[in-house]
């Protein structure tokens, strides 16, 4: 069976594009991370300069390393988009794209190696990179709360129940509740452990129901236990607080600090406890659709740079149009995402529409420029 010279050229050119894209992607992401690292390191040096417990520059370097992991999720789409534009522009500059198009390769065929790399990268991201990034982000957020904010997380949730923490000038209170009724801001079977600032136990308060009002806990059917004192049973008891439902929900683990594999179970825990899981659901579905979003960005970036232009002015205009289009799509996507987080938009719409819109626009542009070529 004979293999045509076109098929050989086709395969060899795809391999060449694949290697070129990987090389440019590594350069792009490395330079971007280095810039972010230097900015974060400088900022952390300033923030830690007055903290006596941090005197080692190596510890600040470690913190800066942990901090930049938060930026990688943001940089990945930018890197894919930028790498596509740079690779296509470089190939056009050396007339390689013209040769490929004259050989009969369509725009989709030329962009296929970029898409193939993106699929492989996403597989690596989901299996290795995302769990690592989430662990590093979680580690940094814990250190930041303890060192820079001088406090631990206010909220934790597990199968044993909901754990809250509040403090005042006079005491510290740890609260455990079996579950939460969001419609009435009620915590059922709540226990309040009250300590002095020096961690000396003061009293334990058990309430069948604890309602969170503005600046107060209103408890019903209360039992108060104090060391070496008689147990007190009362119908109602009031306790000052600086907590609110909004503060409690905002203090739950940031979705980025959880591996994508752990988020589904955490969503179930939130729902079983009566809290909103919208933030984590939107993040989960958006992350799952990352390959679709990135492929859409490749199509958009490629459609504006894959076509050979004779004048520098026209090349500049096309690149500028591509950058502006990519930026606008990103802004629209983030706006939809934010509306979803704020419960102003359906969870599925907020999660799926940015990726679907991006790949549809990308496909349209590629077909449009293919016809006008």
The pair of structure tokens assigned to 332 is: 């629209």
Among 282, 293, 292, 291, residue whose Cα is nearest residue 256: 282
DSSP H or E segment with residue 97: helix 96-102
Helix (H) or strand (E) holding 341: helix 312-341
182 and 96 housed in the same domain = no
Q: With contact defined as beta carbons under 8 Å apart, do 354 and 328 qualify?
A: no
Helix axes 290-305, 278-288, angle to 10 degrees: 50
**Is 344 domain-assigned?**
yes
The residues of the chain scoring below 70 in pLDDT are 1-9, 52-53, 55, 148-156, 158-159, 183, 250-253, 273, 308-310, 371-373
DSSP H stretches of helix in the chain: 5-48, 57-93, 96-102, 107-124, 130-147, 245-250, 263-273, 278-288, 290-305, 312-341, 347-372
Check whether residue 192 and residue 91 sit in a common domain: no
Give the separation between CA 255 and CA 124, rounded to whole angstroms. 19
**323 and 189 share one domain:** no
* Residue 14 included in any domain: yes
Q: Indicate the number of domains in the chain.
A: 2
> Does 87 map to a domain?
yes
- Is residue 201 situated within a structural domain? yes
Residue of 326, 270, 266 whose CA lies nearest to 296: 326
Name the nearest CA neighbour of 28 among 98, 79, 85. Answer: 79
- Is residue 101 situated within a structural domain? yes
Range of the structural domain that residue 174 is part of:
155-250
- Are the C-beta atoms of residues 321 and 307 closer than 8 Å to each other? no
Same domain for 141 and 97, yes or no, is yes
The continuous run of DSSP H or E covering 179 comes out as strand 179-181
Residues 114, 167: one domain? no
Pair 222, 205: CB distance under 8 Å: yes
Query: pLDDT digits over 36-45, tens only?
Result: 999 999 988 8
Residue 7: the pLDDT is 62
Residue-level pLDDT at 39: 92
Residues 207 and 58 in one domain: no
Is 177 found in the same domain as 131?
Answer: no
Residue 269 within any structural domain of the chain: no
Is the same domain home to 66 and 129?
A: yes
Q: Among all chains, which residue has been given the structure tokens 């009362």?
A: 234
Contacts of 331 (CB under 8 A, 6+ apart): none
Single out the residue in 235, 250, 265 at which a domain terminates.
250
Which of 287, 239, 238, 289 has its CA nearest to residue 267?
287
Which spans in 213-289 are helix H? 245-250, 263-273, 278-288
DSSP string covering 126-157: IIIIHHHHHHHHHHHHHHHHHHTSSS--SEEE
- Whether residue 223 is found in the same domain as residue 297: no
Residue 255 falls within a domain, yes or no? no
Flag whether 257 is in a domain: no
Q: 139 and 177: one domain?
A: no
- Angle in degrees, CA 85, 304, 308, rounded to 5: 90
Q: Are residues 360 and 309 in the same domain?
A: yes
Query: 141 and 15, same structural domain?
Result: yes
Q: Beta partners for 186?
A: 181, 211
């Amino acid at each position: 069976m004979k293999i045509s010279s076109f098929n050989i050229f086709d395969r060899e050119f795809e391999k060449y594009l694949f290697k070129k894209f990987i090389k440019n992607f590594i350069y792009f992401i490395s330079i971007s991370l280095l810039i972010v690292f230097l900015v974060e390191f400088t900022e952390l040096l300033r923030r830690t300069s007055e903290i006596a417990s941090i005197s080692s520059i190596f510890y600040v370097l470690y913190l800066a390393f942990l901090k930049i992991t938060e930026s990688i999720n943001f940089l990945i789409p930018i890197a894919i988009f930028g790498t596509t534009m740079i690779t296509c522009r470089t190939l056009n500059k050396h007339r390689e794209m013209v040769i490929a198009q004259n050989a009969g390769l369509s725009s989709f065929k030329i962009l296929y190696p970029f898409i193939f790399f993106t699929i492989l990268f996403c597989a690596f991201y989901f299996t290795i990179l995302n769990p690592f990034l989430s662990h590093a982000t979680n580690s940094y957020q814990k250190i930041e709360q303890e060192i820079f904010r001088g406090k631990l997380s206010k909220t934790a949730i597990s199968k044993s129940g909901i754990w809250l923490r509040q403090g005042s000038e006079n005491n510290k209170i740890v609260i455990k509740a079996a579950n939460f009724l969001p419609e009435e801001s009620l915590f059922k079977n709540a226990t309040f452990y009250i300590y002095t600032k020096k961690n000396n136990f003061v009293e334990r308060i058990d309430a069948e129901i604890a309602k969170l009002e503005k600046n107060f806990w209103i408890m019903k059917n209360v039992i108060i236990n104090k060391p070496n004192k008689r147990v007190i049973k009362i119908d109602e008891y009031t306790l000052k607080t600086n907590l609110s439902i909004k503060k409690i929900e905002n203090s739950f683990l940031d979705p980025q600090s959880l591996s994508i594999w752990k988020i589904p179970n955490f969503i179930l825990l939130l729902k079983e406890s009566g809290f909103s899981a919208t933030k984590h659901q939107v993040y989960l579905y958006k992350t799952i659709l990352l390959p679709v979003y990135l492929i859409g960005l490749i199509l958009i970036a490629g459609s504006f740079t894959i076509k050979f232009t004779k004048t520098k002015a026209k090349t500049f205009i096309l690149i500028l149009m591509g950058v502006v289009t990519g930026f606008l799509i990103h802004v629209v996507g983030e706006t939809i995402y934010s509306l979803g987080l704020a419960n102003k938009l359906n969870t599925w719409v907020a999660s799926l529409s940015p990726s679907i819109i991006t790949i549809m626009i990308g496909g349209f542009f590629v077909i449009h420029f293919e016809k006008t070529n």
